[in-house]
Amino acid sequence: MTGQRGFTLVELAIVILIMGLILGGLAMPLAVQRENARLEAAEAQADRIRDALMGFALVNGFLPCPATPSSNGLAAVAGGGCVRQHGFVPASTLGLNGTRNDDNLLLDPWASAFRYSVSASDVDGDGNWDFTAGGEMGDVTMASLAPELTVCTTAAGSTPTACADPASTLSATAPIIVYSLGKDWATSNGADQQENVGATVGGGPSGTTYRVAGDAVFVSRSRSVQAGNEYDDVVLWASPLHLYQTLVAGGQLP
């Protein structure tokens, strides 16, 4: 009878090494796939939020104010304007589904609150924000409305109100901006990401201090993991013509 021969320790070690290399090679693509899925989900979620904001304007004739950590997911209104120009998606006001945190703020796929900014322009100087107070857009008229939120391809050379030049300007007249801070929301070290979080706000039940925009300029560009040049924010905005067309079609503007 022929004796049975098992694996030697050397052969077993080689097999384990090969399996380790195979699994290690698969791990990175799977991680990339998961991250790409989160990115796609964030983009789709931001798009739904933008649609909901436009729907709110269609029904009410104005845009909702951003939520704050203390407003329980509702639009935070102050006099003729908003408590803050730069805050969070008012998910409760919009009736949006999705995971919320302890301050009732709508979360993106990385468990960070979706940010939302709205134009604070007051062209007629009556103390009412043109885009968030009922009847103001009609009073000012479409020809005179001047939304000031600006989106650049880089923060380099920008000011608090404008991009460095026309070539780096994606929009200089956005009435609203919705954005996620991406996977690295807790650090966001790149200069372009820092442009999107120039201020802080707190005051909610959780005691958390959040970073939000500090001026009218935002950056939207391709992703990068290069040290010092990191960027993975998801930034969406609406054009004024899209908003006006929506309101005219719904009879909210002449």
Provide the pLDDT for residue 167.
98
Provide the pLDDT for residue 21.
66
Reading the block at residue 128, the tokens are 């009412």
The alpha carbon dihedral of 237, 242, 248, 253 has a sign of: positive
Provide the pLDDT for residue 226.
87
Helices (H), the chain: 9-60, 91-94, 136-140, 191-194, 240-249
Percent of the chain topping pLDDT 90: 81
Reading the block at residue 197, the tokens are 């979080």
> What pLDDT band is residue 239 in, cutting at 50, 70 and 90?
very high
Q: pLDDT per residue over 30-63, tens digit each?
A: 777 888 899 999 999 999 999 999 999 999 999 9
Provide the pLDDT for residue 149.
98
> What pLDDT band is residue 172 in, cutting at 50, 70 and 90?
very high
Q: Is the pLDDT of residue 222 over 60?
A: yes
